[in-house]
A and B are shown apart, each in its own frame.
Chain A
Amino acid sequence: MFLVRPETTLLTNNSSKKPLYLNKLLIFDSLKNKLSIIPIKWPLKDYQNQKK
């Protein structure tokens, strides 16, 4: 079984003081203990609204 976690990560301590939004898909193979990370450009509307 794979676990997939879409991550919209919030940074507030970067030097520009502006929140920065990065998107990643975390894909974990729970049997093999293997984590794959896919950076994605994916402006999810729900999260975009949330940051406003």
Chain B
Amino acid sequence: MAPKRLSKSKKIEKEVRKLLSIKNFKVIINEPVPNAYSAPFKVYMDLTFACQAKCPFCLYTNTGKNKTQSLNWELCKKTIKEAGKVGVFAFKFGGGEPLLYPYFWQAVKIARQNNIFVSTSTNSYSITNKEIRMLKKYHVKISVSIEGLKKNDEKLRGEGHFDRAVETVKTFKNEGIDVRFQTNVTSRTIKEIPLLVELAKKIGVKIKLRYIKPIGRAGINNFSLKFTDADRYLKLITFLNRKDILPWVDLDESLMLYQPKEISLKLYNGIMCGAANRTLHINPHGEVRPCIFLGDKFLAGKININNSLMDFWRGKNSSAFLKVRKLLPPKECFNCERICFNECPSLRIIGRGSNKKQGVNCLKEMMRHASPNSLKEFRQLLNK
């Protein structure tokens, strides 16, 4: 009797099993997609606009106490299950305040049942013993938002926030939860960031630093870094890249002075920006974009019961994704030794009004705007 013919995916799976020494694994094979991985690595899913705070730098304009718009639960559930089938590795649940989403823990449970890692963020107002128990149960990684020191943070995030955030981080750490602070690098808080990093170090947790993008209230209220911040920016980079500080910070690649080459392995064609090649974003309306920070010009459509996540990634709703895959940075980036290539189109397109102009996250552009003294000091450091 002739041996039974194996299907294409079975053949590939057989080859993979020969290559790997690990045992407990599931092989997922998707059709290749031009200029992108075959499915997202990570889906950013903002679950609700509801939030106890109304931060002036929020990426949305419509978040706040009386905002109840949340992602339809049936669509949320369907999307997570589908993501599991195509091998999406991780979901980042955001908001608003994600913990105010009525189905938050059900969403986490379904993700974990589908072998999807979950991370989330919190303003720390919603934390009870239940949250602590559930974060531990599902191995959820969580970041606690904070903006500058007490005075500045409470001016931006509300009275009483700073102490609450610090206590939340301490509690999570003591409970063994994977926790870190998260802060935005903004024009108004840049001076205080070193002190915030020292605070995180003292507590024994990392702090994640991200550039604020000029959309939502952050755009309206002009929170982004500016070229006039160049001197302070170079000082910050110098501080963040100190050997004693690096273990305590989680940096955007362009904030890294010495970028580890191993990062480049995950990149698609050397492109640092993950939008449309590694990541996808869904907002509480169910709107899908390659990246929320690219704004409405790159809106791909809405999830509904008749379409699928992969329709946006590679199918009938993928036009915005195809458009992003064609975005390339200014010419000088092609000859630059740094590996932040094409990071970040939003800071160029929305921040500078043109994809051909460098964004404020370009170290070399910031160096061009720095004062001679500041630049001299910075260059001396580079030469060491």
Contact = CB atoms under 8 A, between A and B. Distances in A.
Contact of B19 (A37, A40, A50): A40
A27 B27 CA distance: 9
> Which residue of B28, B30, B117 has the most chain A CB atoms within 10 A of its CB atom?
B117
A11 B37 contact: no
Given A7-B38, A37-B266, A50-B32, A2 B26 contact: yes
A28 B36 CA distance: 18
A43 to B, nearest CB: 11
Contact of A9 (B25, B37, B266): B37
Interface string B264-277: 01101100000000
B32 A5 contact: no
A26 B117 CA distance: 15
B203 interface: no
A21 B41 CA distance: 19
Nearest to B17: A4
B325 A13 contact: yes
Q: How large is the interface on B (under 10, 10 to 19, 20 to 34, 35 or more residues)?
A: 35 or more
A30 interface: yes
Given A13-B325, A33-B141, A46-B11, A6 B16 contact: yes
A5 B25 contact: no
B89 A12 contact: no
Given A4-B27, A6-B12, A40-B19, A35 B266 contact: yes
B15 interface: yes
Interface in B81-130: 87, 89-90, 115-117, 119
A1 B116 CA distance: 10
Interface string A27-41: 110110101011110
29 contacts: A2-B22, A2-B24, A2-B25, A3-B25, A3-B89, A3-B115, A5-B27, A5-B38, A7-B32, A7-B37, A8-B38, A9-B37, A10-B33, A10-B35, A11-B269, A25-B20, A26-B37, A26-B41, A28-B87, A28-B89, A30-B115, A30-B116, A30-B117, A33-B90, A39-B265, A40-B19, A44-B12, A46-B8, A47-B32
In the A-B complex, the 7 residue pairs with the smallest Cβ-Cβ separation, listed nearest first, are A2-B25, A30-B115, A10-B34, A28-B89, A33-B117, A46-B8, A37-B265
